[in-house]
A and B are shown apart, each in its own frame.
Chain A
């Protein structure tokens, strides 16, 4: 596992801690608390997991176990320059695999539920784009 490089003095981290601190100390607040951290700092470093575990008074190991059950919770820092191509069944049929190979730095992602506008790509800010062509995507990624 890669060494965790995370600045726990950042303002965003403090804001997240404050927001989580205001939640009731009950177990049903676990997912909302993890989501607050992920929204503010995009992922869940060890210090965030620890903070949530202490707040809700659960073992850190248990919070980790629960976190790994959700595919959208990131235990590693995401690459912020990354574009994603939807590889759901409909996008696949609409030629998503061509988009996958048309430029570098593209990753695949599961269905984005915009099937009617396939093929679909997702930018760094989670904005979806529909009816994407190879030309479009090459242009956007270069920007």
Chain B
């Protein structure tokens, strides 16, 4: 590990990070980066491309870094570019606190590195793995149980338990699948992780490998997330060349192959048994459960399926105390939309979270948590504290007082109808019927409740099982908004 650092880490120099990533690219940030390089002339080597730091609202943005001092310049325009250069040349005015979305936790390196191995090593990458390798697999699993780490993809299954289930199959080949499909409208956390700090995922994978011993790993990336796949593949190749994936730099032989696969669309493709079918080259539809993947998964072998964020969170297992945080993809009517890493330790309320985004919670009617499988949180509940189990995958859409709840409910129902894969009858037929029934809520209210019950009880996967959730939640909390004439 020390040798690795000596070889790759360069001494820190003052520099300007241009926040690219999907968000920066969508507002042509490179134009401002080029202009800064032009102005700096000979010193332009100090200007480096980084990914988004999660603060999408700030794009196009750049951050000046000098030692521990960081200052981000948001919503750049041609005048703003001059301020960035001035600051870099030593005229920053007061030292403003860096208002990033994650100063510690799993987003600590996101948007603060140039994508090179040396840069992330300097910021602590692979230190947890180094420590994990000195512990036994049993110790790792009991540590994860102790800190109570649960899956971050939405189902919140205990990680230690899932890994142990696979470990119980002693002499069989085992697989790890990293679920980076992330097809839920309104969620963009995994892309940010992959674009901004793919080495954290690789570290998480290697920790999981140390604990469970996999034959190989499949990372299943959303087909549209091309930049995420690109930066992941670069990181994999860097880590491979440096002897990290093979384990050579710890004097070991991990014997692990990591494959990257792209999905090709479909909300249902994020469901774990659909991923199994998809990787095996079968039709992308869910499987019956049981058997569960940890017993009979990919190619019939015990398989652990973890979300990107889960494996990233695994790297914090030795932090003291381990950060109890969740990535939140926050959008809707707020001044500062983007990715947030919020504490879920009983201190943060919904109102506090909304206030963090620069919006007065009193101007907000509701928030939609979890998109098409989620539920509405009424403003009267804004003083409740955030709970992991309520956050799903962490997609939050903030709705102002003028929002038409009925329109959103209809649009979510229509989305579930379009995305139903058609494998099971309750979802295939039910999702379409729900759309029709919503046309006349007054007459059909009883039928809606009955149908949702059937779909919840008997659908093959959670796309159908949860399709009624936002509808019932809207009907219960905003009954007066539905056209009952």
Contact = CB atoms under 8 A, between A and B. Distances in A.
Interface string A82-93: 000000111011
B162 to A, nearest CB: 23
Interface residues on A, range: 35 or more
Most buried by B among A34, A35, A120: A35
B421 interface: yes
Given A114-B22, A128-B26, A69 B281 contact: no
A72 B226 CA distance: 13
A45 to B, nearest CB: 17
Given A28-B279, A113-B187, A93 B403 contact: yes
B265 A73 contact: yes
A15 to B, nearest CB: 18
Interface in A104-143: 110-118, 120, 126-131
Given A66-B282, A69-B283, A114-B22, A31 B261 contact: yes
A93 B332 contact: yes
B399 interface: yes
A66 to B, nearest CB: 5
B188 A30 contact: no
Contacts of A89: 185-186, 368, 371, 397, 408, 411-412
B223 A72 contact: yes
Contacts of A129: 26-27
Interface in A24-69: 26-32, 34-35, 56, 58, 65-66, 69
B188 A113 contact: yes
Nearest to A72: B265
A71 interface: yes
B165 interface: no
B264 A35 contact: yes
Given A31-B278, A93-B333, A130-B59, A114 B262 contact: no
Contacts of B299: 28
Given A93-B403, A111-B185, A116 B281 contact: no
B57 A116 contact: yes
Most buried by B among A35, A88, A89: A89
A92 B330 CA distance: 16
A100 B68 CA distance: 46
A113 B265 contact: no
Given A66-B281, A72-B224, A72-B265, A110 B185 contact: yes
A68 to B, nearest CB: 9
Most buried by B among A88, A117, A120: A117
Interface in B232-249: none
B266 interface: yes
A117 B27 contact: yes
A70 B419 CA distance: 10
B23 A65 contact: no
Given A116-B338, A128-B22, A128-B26, A90 B186 contact: yes
B431 interface: no
B102 interface: no
Interface string B177-190: 00000100111100
Given A115-B397, A116-B330, A116-B337, A72 B264 contact: yes
A113 B182 contact: yes
A71 B265 contact: yes
B284 A70 contact: yes
Contacts of A92: 407-408, 411
8 contacts: A89-B186, A93-B399, A93-B408, A111-B186, A113-B22, A114-B22, A116-B23, A126-B224
Interface of A: 26-32, 34-35, 56, 58, 65-66, 69-73, 88-90, 92-93, 110-118, 120, 126-131
Interface of B: 22-23, 25-27, 56-57, 59, 182, 185-188, 191, 222-226, 261-266, 269, 278-285, 299, 329-333, 337-339, 368, 371, 397, 399, 403, 407-408, 411-412, 415, 418, 421
Across the A-B interface, the 10 shortest Cβ-Cβ residue pairs: A72-B265, A111-B185, A116-B56, A30-B281, A71-B265, A115-B331, A70-B264, A116-B337, A27-B281, A130-B26
Given A31-B279, A113-B187, 17 more contacts: A27-B282, A31-B262, A70-B223, A70-B264, A89-B186, A92-B407, A93-B397, A111-B185, A113-B22, A114-B188, A115-B331, A116-B57, A116-B339, A117-B56, A117-B59, A127-B26, A128-B26
